[in-house]
Structure 1
Amino acid sequence: MRIPKLASLFLLLACLVAYATYVKWHTDGMKPALSKPPYHHSRTDSDDDHKRTSPDVSSDRFQYGIMFDAGSTGTRIHIFKFLIEENEAPKLSHETFKAIKPGLSAYVDDPDECRDGIQELLEVAKGTVPAPLWNSTPLVLKATAGLRLLPGEKATHLLNKVREVFGESPFLSRGDSVSIMDGTDEGISAWITINFLIGGLHGADRTTLGMLDLGGGSTQITFSPQDEKTIQTSPFDYITSIQMFNTTHTLYSHSYLGLGLMSARFAILGGVEGSPLEGSRELVSPCLAPDFTDNWEHAEVEYTVKGQKAGEPIYESCLKKVEKVLYRKVKKAEEAKDMNFYAFSYYYDRAVDIGAIDEKNGGAIKVNDYIEAAEKECNSMEEASPKQPFLCLDLTYISLLLQELGFPKDKVLKLARKINDVETSWALGATFHYMESLSRH
């Protein structure tokens, strides 16, 4: 009886060794493609020559990702080109970008009308991605504040129309390819983008920067806290953790829906988001020149906007109105004043308007520069009608918003539209995340 028992024991041990070997091999094979830090390759191609590739690199070593950014004021396509090398993570080689107006929310009452714009951008993708790679190139659309502000049923009809158009395209489209992006995810994805481009996620230094974004319908702030007090004292839903390139990052991130520049402008003019005015659609504000009258459209509704006679200087009157709109709506992030931040979108555009930065190359601006420009612009309207009637309002809002977020007047913010020729939006970070999810399934 001893011989059969020994044989059984050896057989059991052999099975255990074989199983362990299989599990290790299978686990290694399932590691996500983006587990190693990608290296950003700065291209030297000109903006007009965006389809050119290096002659010594074969096309079968490239992988593409297509991300649609459906914002409140327009729809943008980002086509990312990655270089694939054996046993390495993808390297970002190139980005193609195009934007069209208006945003998807403009077609809320007639979703079929959005088809032409989506098709126009898909043609850009077809002209950028080599045809043999079309069916393996993920196609994604993420809608932001413009659709988050719409009633659920109307937003669903719009997104279903986009899914229909995507399904007719030759690109890889899945059930989760079209969705409304959570505001916090938008901020986190933009933070990933900027820190990837500067090397903060995978460079030798690994020092990350904070991110400020001011869109039309919402605004975001995201940074990696260095002070444990920030983590302990912040609202629980402001703190999150992400894993990126084998490193866990704890982030302070929040999106303020309804505090994007166009939504805030509407509120400062006296409107209520989601509740069109009954009867007269006339908006009167101290932030406009006293003799100013014009038409202004918001959320597909046209309003008559007018300035009002003020008993005090326009800037002081406007500031009081903006303070009421922002009252208790923004939480101050104390640690933010000690960290370096990049600011995007309307922060950038209005800095260009006042001549604080170069339109193409960006630059840096102090919070106080916005304050001084607001005061100058507002008070100059008492003598003459301005060329940009909303600039006083916009600058006053931006300057106060930054202070409410915790930035002192002498705080310097970096402003950029592109870094290494890549758009500084959330699109690249979201594309990394989506492609990693595909590799896991």
Structure 2
Amino acid sequence: MKVPKLAVIFLLVVCLVVYLTYVKRCFENRKLSKPFLEQLYRTDLHKRPTSAEMAGEMFRYGIMFDAGSTGTRIHIFQFQQENNAAPKLGPETFKAIKPGLSAYADDPEKSKAGLLELLEVAKQTVPPAQWSSTPLALRATAGLRLLPGEKATHLLDKVKEVFAVSSFLFRSDSVSIMDGTDEGVSAWITVNFLLGGLHKSEVPTVGILDLGGGSTQITFSPQDEKTIQTSPIDYVTSFQMFNTSHTLYSHSYLGLGLMSARLAVLGGVEGQPVGGGQELVSPCLAPDYTGEWEHAEVTYTLKGQKAGEPIYESCLSKVEKMIYKRVQKAEEVKDMEFYAFSYYYDRAVDLGLVDEKKGGSLRVSNYIDGAKTVCKNMEANAGQNPFLCLDLTYISVLLQELGFPTDKELKLARKIREVETSWALGATFYHMESLHKH
């Protein structure tokens, strides 16, 4: 039977329409982005980029300087950003130098060498093609918060001067003194991002305890509405991160960091030398101890108190008087999981309670027992660390004042997924979101 010519033409048109529809759908399903297309054809129409080239294009970087009271540290974070999802982290580059930025309060020009040394680390880590798009920021903490305003301003101006010619993405507000609450919130973001609590609804968030040299922070997400209602108004803060809103209990206690608290217990005053060759005499030191200790550019002469009452009981009394009514208890913390780091971690390592590299868990009572043992041993000998008795006694009292019972278990970690458990990563995310909004 002869097929009419019109039917053949109609059949060919239908086939063509079906084929074009199929091709269109396949193309749409791939959802190729413009950058990907540009990359696909940027050099050779017949050559696709290697997977390594594509991976290199997808990685971005963020640089955060942590200007603490005892040193300045650079954190260079590598990550992949996918739409509005939480970034995926690559390896972190980290370096620290001493002393802290505040040590140059009387001569800001001297801070330049250390800043340039750390910037060189950034230039060796970030590909040159990405320097101009990589955000650079510095956040100073308690060391600068404790300085007179004019001295702190001059130091930050010197940092801005150095950063402005660094080739990295920099704005004037990228350098600042960090509010204590922001420090706690940023540390909370870091830890919970690394544990998965910020982007996995089935993973509960954890609280954080940070003990620096000049200040200490406690931050957690309240589960009980009563905590929010009964807390001072400036202890509760809200923010948005990765398209999710969070309400946190967070407070920073300036002057209750380990070094500042140590000075207060010894009887000194922050930033004020002891005149006339006088000594600070303390029951928290071994009876036969004499020595010098430098804190915030002031050198103090120290001496142990003559043997009398047991060292632990005498030191405990001094610590309790110093901290009396300076800390707010939070009842809810006794039922929540908490991570502790910085000097909480270091002193636990000194006691041999956790592994220096791996960290571990301990109870508040371990700090108490450790303090009693160290103080007892110091009645005969000052040992290698003359301040360990005082530091452990202070930490054990601070934790109890914050609301932690003696049987409360804390997790101690210096790193999670090979990233430092500091506020730096959280502050980097926060800074980058701010740049994106503007």
TM-score by length of 1: 0.86
Instruction: Report the equivalent of 1:113.
Output: 110
Report the CA distance between 1:228 and its aligned residue. Answer: 1.0
Query: Can you list the C-alpha shifts for 1:184-232, whole angstroms capped at 9, x where unaligned?
Result: 0000000011001101111141310000000000000000111111111
The reply to whether residue 214 of structure 1 matches residue 200 of structure 2 is no
Query: Conserved in 1, the CA contact under 8 Å of 2:60 and 2:81?
Result: yes
State the one-letter code of the partner of 1:298. H
Q: Please state whether the residue corresponding to 1:168 is helix, strand or coil.
A: coil
Q: 1:369 aligns with which of 366, 376, 379?
A: 366
Report the CA distance between 1:416 and its aligned residue. Answer: 0.4
State the one-letter code of the partner of 1:144. T
Query: Conserved in 2, the CA contact under 8 Å of 1:292 and 1:306?
Result: yes
State the one-letter code of the partner of 1:196. F
Task: Give the whole-Å Cα distance in 2 for the aligned partners of 1:274 and 1:313.
Answer: 30
Report the CA distance between 1:307 and its aligned residue. Answer: 0.5
- Between the two proteins, the alignment pairs up a number of residues equal to 388
Query: Conserved in 1, the CA contact under 8 Å of 2:115 and 2:159?
Result: yes
Instruction: Report the equivalent of 1:350.
Output: 347
Instruction: Report the equivalent of 1:102.
Output: 99
The reply to whether residue 236 of structure 1 matches residue 247 of structure 2 is no
In the TM superposition, 1:342-421 aligns within 5 A as 342-421=339-418
Query: Can you list the C-alpha shifts for 1:346-396, whole angstroms capped at 9, x where unaligned?
Result: 000000000000000000010000000000000111122311110000000
Query: Can you list the C-alpha shifts for 1:62-100, whole angstroms capped at 9, x where unaligned?
Result: 211100000000000000111244675532222111111
Task: Give the whole-Å Cα distance in 1 for the aligned partners of 2:83 and 2:349.
Answer: 44
Query: Conserved in 2, the CA contact under 8 Å of 1:281 and 1:302?
Result: no
Query: Conserved in 2, the CA contact under 8 Å of 1:212 and 1:221?
Result: yes
Q: 1:145 aligns with which of 142, 150, 163?
A: 142
Task: Give the whole-Å Cα distance in 2 for the aligned partners of 1:74 and 1:384.
Answer: 30
State the one-letter code of the partner of 1:317. S
State the one-letter code of the partner of 2:231. S
- The change in CA–CA distance for 1:298 and 1:91 in structure 2 (over 3 A counts) is same
Query: Can you list the C-alpha shifts for 1:148-184, whole angstroms capped at 9, x where unaligned?
Result: 0000000000110111111121111101111000000
In the TM superposition, 1:119-268 aligns within 5 A as 119-268=116-265
Task: Give the whole-Å Cα distance in 2 for the aligned partners of 1:328 and 1:259.
Answer: 12
Query: Conserved in 1, the CA contact under 8 Å of 2:102 and 2:144?
Result: yes
Instruction: Report the equivalent of 1:35.
Output: none
Task: Give the whole-Å Cα distance in 2 for the aligned partners of 1:381 and 1:87.
Answer: 56
Q: 1:277 aligns with which of 244, 268, 274?
A: 274
State the one-letter code of the partner of 1:301. V
- The change in CA–CA distance for 1:87 and 1:225 in structure 2 (over 3 A counts) is closer
Instruction: Report the equivalent of 2:41.
Output: none
Q: 1:331 aligns with which of 316, 328, 331?
A: 328
Query: Conserved in 1, the CA contact under 8 Å of 2:84 and 2:243?
Result: no
Report the CA distance between 1:241 and its aligned residue. Answer: 1.2
- The change in CA–CA distance for 1:397 and 1:282 in structure 2 (over 3 A counts) is same
Instruction: Report the equivalent of 2:436.
Output: 439
Query: Conserved in 2, the CA contact under 8 Å of 1:69 and 1:77?
Result: yes
Q: Taking every aligned residue pair, what percent have the same amino acid on both sides?
A: 74
Query: Conserved in 1, the CA contact under 8 Å of 2:285 and 2:386?
Result: yes
Q: Please state whether the residue corresponding to 1:95 is helix, strand or coil.
A: strand
TM-score by length of 2: 0.87
- The change in CA–CA distance for 1:249 and 1:86 in structure 2 (over 3 A counts) is closer
Task: Give the whole-Å Cα distance in 1 for the aligned partners of 2:83 and 2:240.
Answer: 23
Task: Give the whole-Å Cα distance in 2 for the aligned partners of 1:317 and 1:87.
Answer: 56
Report the CA distance between 1:273 and its aligned residue. Answer: 1.4
Q: 2:421 aligns with which of 384, 407, 424?
A: 424
State the one-letter code of the partner of 2:400. Q
Report the CA distance between 1:233 and its aligned residue. Answer: 0.7
Query: Can you list the C-alpha shifts for 1:257-299, whole angstroms capped at 9, x where unaligned?
Result: 0000000011111101133333235211100000001111011
Query: Can you list the C-alpha shifts for 1:387-407, whole angstroms capped at 9, x where unaligned?
Result: 111000000000000000000
Task: Give the whole-Å Cα distance in 2 for the aligned partners of 1:268 and 1:87.
Answer: 49
Query: Conserved in 1, the CA contact under 8 Å of 2:180 and 2:254?
Result: yes
Query: Conserved in 2, the CA contact under 8 Å of 1:84 and 1:91?
Result: yes
Where in structure 2 are there 5+ consecutive unaligned residues? 1-50
Query: Conserved in 2, the CA contact under 8 Å of 1:112 and 1:161?
Result: yes
Task: Give the whole-Å Cα distance in 1 for the aligned partners of 2:201 and 2:237.
Answer: 24
**Larger radius of gyration between Structure 1 and Structure 2:** 2
Query: Conserved in 2, the CA contact under 8 Å of 1:310 and 1:317?
Result: no
Q: Please state whether the residue corresponding to 2:138 is helix, strand or coil.
A: strand
- The change in CA–CA distance for 1:87 and 1:365 in structure 2 (over 3 A counts) is closer
